[in-house]
Homo-oligomer: A and B are copies of this chain.
């Protein structure tokens, strides 16, 4: 097993969250800050979020659109976060918002052109829906790592009614809901329904790394 940062090695996606704790303002801010500073193609930052904290209106609206399977456990989470992406055809906020400062002394370099070079038209043309959702994936991953850094766990769900939620939130056409993230502190697996209780303690697994590697064609 190769060396792995403890933040990554310890990450997993629980079903059991502690229903007795809420998400503090500081925790919420740090999670959003992590997502905000993720890289994106051309620094377009095509991610949008709705954060619901337990029992508030946003939480209720997100919860009601979850698949029944997810409603069995996700209501114990301290927060539910909607991750949405902006369809690229729309002018982005980048066109009208001035810069805000960098987060750290180390961040003296710039990341405004993380993925693309200005003037490279073919690359720009690849900034399609796939790139927007790829960048959202990066932002939620960075949020997930930050969650681990402050003692929280997250569990991402695609099992929710995207269309119904978009209507309920009156989202603009170019804002596409993609994922709902349950966030909280680890709870008691014994609080879960039987089948989930069993799965909660199963060994995690992944394909061998060799199965993930592409080969070179001969010649």
A residues adjacent to B (C-beta < 8 A)? 1-14, 26, 29-30, 32-39, 41, 43, 45, 47-51, 57-58, 61, 67, 69-70, 82, 84, 93-94, 97, 99-104, 106-117, 119-120, 122-123, 126-127, 129-131, 133-138, 140-142, 144-146, 149-150, 155-162, 168-171, 175, 178-179, 199-209, 211-217
Contact = CB atoms under 8 A, between A and B. Distances in A.
A183 to B, nearest CB: 14
A155 B157 CA distance: 29
B145 A1 contact: no
A57 B218 CA distance: 11
B137 A217 contact: no
Contacts of A145: 5, 7-8, 141-142, 145
Nearest to A160: B123
A101 to B, nearest CB: 7
